[in-house]
């Protein structure tokens, strides 16, 4: 009886394994790759290039979006992207499959399960398993960075609005060039704002006073104390004006 049972087991073990999802590779090499990608600190997603259906997504991306793996496997990746970005993501996928150059690190906005949004940089490349091509995308969540950038822009706009309404001319100089000037400063010298930004500061100072300005800058850097200086400036039309500088 024992021999009969053993024979049944042997015959059973010789049967061909059942086929899994035909869209997903089944090799041990693929399984090993998935184990590596599962534990990455960034999001990883693998898609069928024919329809961009998701065949693998790691836990990092699931957590970021608020979905389970079951929610995402078999779903089109484009359904997770805001409508205004879907055309770009399709164009990028097509270009990568055709071997055409694309911009590194495309930025997209994803839709989270709770209705929120997530901004990420995506790096997409074609990969091959068992002779089939797939698209693999690595994602880096930059939502917090984008929010900080927006806050900084808003802060700069508020600062510029305040500075533009001050009666004095205000300018910021970096490496000898003006990187910012308010409207009053540009009017004093007879320039438009877009003309004066980027100009060499020495171009606005009369010849005999350029060394004085350099000395003032040096003292400010060395002591961090506010300094005052009266010099002669040059307007756009080469006429001279008396300037009281505070730096």
pLDDT digits (tens, 9 = 90+) for 23-33: 566 667 677 77
Tell me the pTM. 0.57
Q: Which residues contact 97 (CB under 8 A, 6 or more apart)?
A: 49, 126, 133, 135
Measured between alpha carbons, how far is 92 from 4 in angstroms, rounded to an integer?
60
Q: What is the pLDDT of residues 228-245, one digit of tens each?
A: 778 888 999 999 998 887
**pLDDT-based confidence at residue 37 (cuts at 50, 70, 90):** confident
Please give the domain boundaries of the chain with CATH numbers for all domains: 27-145 (3.30.450.20), 165-246 (3.30.450.20)
Q: What is the pLDDT of residues 95-146, one digit of tens each?
A: 888 888 777 668 999 999 999 999 999 999 998 887 889 999 999 999 999 9
């Amino acid at each position: 009886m024992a021999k009969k049972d053993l024979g049944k087991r042997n015959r059973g073990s010789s049967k061909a394994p059942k086929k899994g999802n035909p869209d997903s590779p089944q090799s041990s090499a693929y399984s090993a790759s998935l184990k590596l990608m599962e534990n990455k600190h960034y999001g990883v997603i693998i898609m069928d290039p024919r329809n961009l259906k998701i065949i693998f997504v790691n836990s990092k991306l699931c957590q970021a979006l608020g979905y389970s793996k079951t929610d995402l496997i078999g779903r089109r990746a484009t359904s997770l992207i805001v409508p205004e970005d879907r055309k770009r993501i399709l164009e990028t996928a097509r270009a990568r499959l055709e071997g055409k150059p694309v911009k590194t690190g495309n930025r997209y906005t994803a839709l989270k399960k709770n209705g929120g949004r997530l901004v990420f940089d995506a790096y997409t490349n074609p990969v091959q398993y068992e002779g089939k091509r797939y698209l693999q995308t690595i994602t880096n969540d930059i939502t917090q960075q984008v929010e900080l950038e927006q806050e900084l822009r808003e802060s700069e706009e508020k600062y510029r609005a305040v500075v533009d309404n001050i009666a004095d001319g205000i300018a910021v100089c970096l490496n000898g060039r003006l990187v910012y000037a308010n409207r009053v400063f540009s009017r004093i010298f007879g320039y438009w704002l877009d003309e004066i930004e980027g100009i060499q500061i020495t171009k606005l100072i009369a010849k005999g006073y350029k060394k004085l300005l350099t000395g003032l800058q040096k003292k400010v850097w060395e002591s961090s104390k506010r300094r005052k200086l009266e010099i002669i400036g040059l307007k756009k039309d080469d006429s001279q004006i008396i300037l009281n500088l505070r730096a």
